[in-house]
């Protein structure tokens, strides 16, 4: 990551976990990060931490189930920093249950966040990457997509879908 300084990186699901850790690590190395998630109070606190440490960051309330939210997040990066180098499609959810529990609404949410959210990110950033002549996608997967366990069947399916989408995009 030695050449990350000055790069503009959008991260979805940035309010906690992998997204938060990624934002902190990249900002500490000089990347300008644009953070999206639903929990704006956490995003605001994260941006404050980054700025207090001398970094550059911005945030926008973003629900990746809403294509217009993802478009607006990418637009914030362009408006604030003039380019987009990397989009990290990190937002994800993983409620666990047996299929017999028929938690269909959880299944729908996982598909909307874990799969459609990634597709919305690609749709928002790909035209910009093509116009700029550069840009990278980082789509966060899970080992659960490779080793299927009993209570994570739908989650595994969504992560396998993202893996296939990523290969297709590559």
Task: Indicate which residues carry an active-site annotation.
Answer: 155
H helices within 1-143, ranges in order?
17-28, 40-52, 67-81, 104-110, 117-132
Render 129-168 in DSSP notation, one character per residue. HHHHT--EEEE---GGGTS--GGGHHHHHHHHHHHHHHHH
- 39 φ/ψ angles, rounded to the nearest 5 degrees: -90, 90
CB 35 within 8 A of CB 61: no
Question: Maximum CA pair distance of the chain?
Answer: 51
Q: Within 13 Å and on the Cβ side, how many CA atoms surround 94?
A: 18
């Amino acid at each position: 990551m030695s050449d990350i300084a000055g790069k503009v990186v959008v991260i979805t699901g940035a309010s906690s976990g992998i997204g938060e850790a990624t934002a902190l690590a990249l900002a500490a190395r000089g990347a300008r990060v644009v953070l999206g998630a639903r929990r704006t109070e956490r995003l605001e606190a994260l941006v404050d931490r980054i700025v207090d440490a001398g970094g550059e960051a911005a945030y926008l309330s973003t629900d990746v189930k809403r294509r217009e939210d993802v478009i607006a997040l990418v637009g914030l990066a362009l408006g604030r920093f003039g380019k987009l180098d990397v989009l990290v499609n990190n937002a994800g959810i993983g409620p666990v249950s047996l299929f017999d529990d028929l938690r269909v609404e959880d299944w729908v949410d996982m598909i909307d966040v874990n799969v459609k959210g990634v597709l919305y990110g690609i749709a928002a950033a790909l035209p910009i990457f093509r116009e700029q002549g550069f840009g990278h996608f980082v789509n966060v997967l899970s080992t659960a997509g490779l080793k299927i366990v009993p209570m994570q069947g739908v989650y595994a399916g969504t992560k396998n879908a993202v893996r296939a989408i990523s290969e297709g995009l590559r």
